[in-house]
Structure 1
Amino acid sequence: MASVLSNYMEKEKLLKQLQEELQALEDNKELQQELEFKDRLTALMTEYDKASKDVCELLDPTYTASKSGKKATSKDDGRKKRTLKVYKNPHTGETVETRGGNHKVIQNWKAEFGSEEVANWVIDEKP
Structure 2
Amino acid sequence: MSKLAEFRAAERALAEQLAYLESLKNDGALKKEIEFEEKLKGLMNQYGKSLRDVIAILDPDSARDVVRRGPRGAQPTRRERQIKVYKKPHTGEVVETKGGNHKVLKAWKAEYGNDAVESWLSA
Q: In structure 2, what residue type is equivalent to 1:43?
A: G
Q: Secondary structure at the match of 1:40?
A: helix
In the TM superposition, what is the alpha-carbon distance from 1:94 to its structure 2 partner? 3.4
- Tell me which stretches of 4 or more aligned residues in structure 1 moved more than 6 Å: none
Unmatched 5+ stretches in structure 1: 82-91, 96-127
Q: How far, CA to CA, are the matches of 1:61 and 1:40 in structure 2?
A: 22
Q: How far, CA to CA, are the matches of 1:47 and 1:32 in structure 2?
A: 23
The answer as to 2:114 corresponding to 1:94 is yes
Q: How far, CA to CA, are the matches of 1:93 and 1:23 in structure 2?
A: 70
TM-score for the superposition, normalised by structure 2: 0.54
Question: What per-residue deviation string (whole Å, max 9, x for no partner) do you get for residues 25-73 of structure 1?
Answer: 1111111111110110011111112111110001111113378x92323
Q: How far, CA to CA, are the matches of 1:46 and 1:5 in structure 2?
A: 51
The answer as to 2:28 corresponding to 1:29 is yes
Please name the residue that 1:7 is paired with. 6
1:1-127 paired onto structure 2 within 5 Å: 3-64=2-63, 65=66, 70-75=72-77, 93-94=113-114
| Root-mean-square deviation (Å) | 3.6
In the TM superposition, what is the alpha-carbon distance from 1:74 to its structure 2 partner? 1.9
Larger Rg: 2
Please name the residue that 1:119 is paired with. none
Unmatched 5+ stretches in structure 2: 80-111, 116-123
Q: Secondary structure at the match of 1:63?
A: helix
TM-score for the superposition, normalised by structure 1: 0.53
Q: In structure 2, what residue type is equivalent to 1:25?
A: L
Please name the residue that 1:121 is paired with. none
Q: In structure 2, what residue type is equivalent to 1:93?
A: G
Q: In structure 1, what residue type is equivalent to 2:74?
A: A
> Structure with the greater relative contact order (CA < 8 A, sep ≥ 6): 1 or 2?
1
CA distance 1:62–1:45, shift in 2 (3 Å): same
